[in-house]
Amino acid sequence: MGINIDKIRADFPILQRKVNDVPLIYLDNAATSQTPKQVIDTIANYYAKYNANIHRGVHTLSQEATELYEGARKNIQTYFNAKESHEIIFTSGTTHGINLVASGYASLLNKGEELIVSEIEHHSNIVPWQMLCEQTGAELKVIPMNINGELEMSAFDRLLNAKTRLVVVNHVSNALGTINPIKEIIKKAHAVNAKVLIDGAQAAPHIKADFQEIDVDFYTVSAHKMYGPTGVGFLYGKEELLNSLPPYQGGGEMIHEVTFEKTTYAELPHKFEAGTPNISGGIAFGATIDFIKGIGIDNIANHEKTLLEYATKSLLNIEGLHIYGNVANKTAVISFNIEGIHPYDLGNILDKLGIAVRTGHHCAQPIMSYYNIPGTVRASFAVYNTLSEIDTLVKGIQKAITLLK
């Protein structure tokens, strides 16, 4: 079954606006995807009808809001096939989820033990682990990449050993679109009794990870990458592993009993959800899952594959254009440069033409260092993008070249 692109685009109000007096072409989806009216309406509906704090109230509004919030948690659990709904911890986003686990491991790691990250990580999946190693005396090892933007799996095999406690890699590279072989990584890590955290921020809009099938230990997601609101995401963790971690923050909701002599903590998931959460965002995250299910993740993937193939072929016809991340197994992301033109200058002219792309190092400076470049122009596609928008992008680049060279 295909998709009705006109019907889908009609669900996104922002796509109707103009930028610099021309129709907006939004190709910055790897940074933040746009939000459909179904999700926007869910947020407005919460504040109009249910606005109350959750879990603690006996009155009707509180109980109704709680049911909606916990219903969203259950929806996420079912979609990603987590074993239990309390294994889904609501966070402010992927970075929050990663830092929660890193903070917890501070009490579990010993000097001389090892963590493994990869060279193609977002900074949010590098810096927390560097901080953890500085705090504990553990060592950080790095899986190198190759010229095509793939991980060197033979090097990963050599890095794994009995001292490896945790492996942290992204499911999909935000800068290159590379889809990593996470099932293989998880299986090999488990063979040496290491745990695995997967940064799923860039994968979730394009790939539905089955947590039971891949046997992942921790997996993190941000709603705003997958047509949802900003400021909300989740951390999945196996129940026994979440129970082994200490609380990340102290406050209301995460306690069982408080006295000045001793505080005991609540059961999962509340142990890690101190304070008043982003209630409307959590409920809207559930609506986001419904939106994706309504289209079908396979239909989304097939449409984006068509966009990627068309855009790659079209862009490579431009003289002097070089694409980084030349792998067959990737999502709809194209990072490129044009010889003699700084990516910022190209992005600035494209913006004047109403075309939104991302320029810079994309919070992935080790990748840029590997290629010895200051950054790239990144065009990233979503379900609402069209072939005609790619044609306009190509024309915009060609116009920019005439102005900049």
Task: Give CA–CA dist 393/390, Å, rounded.
Answer: 5
Q: Which of 327, 363, 373, 394 is catalytic?
A: 363
Residue 405, strand partner residues: none
Cβ-contact 181, 207 below 8 angstroms: no
133 annotated active-site:
no
Task: Give CA–CA dist 178/56, Å, rounded.
Answer: 44
Quote the tokens at residue 321: 């254009």
Task: Give CA–CA dist 317/315, Å, rounded.
Answer: 5
Torsion angle, alpha carbons of 366, 368, 374, 379, to 10:
-130
C-alpha count within 13 angstroms, C-beta hemisphere, residue 138:
27
In sequence order, the 6+-apart residues with CB closer than 8 A to the CB of 342 are 374
Task: Give CA–CA dist 219/351, Å, rounded.
Answer: 34
Catalytic positions, please? Answer: 363
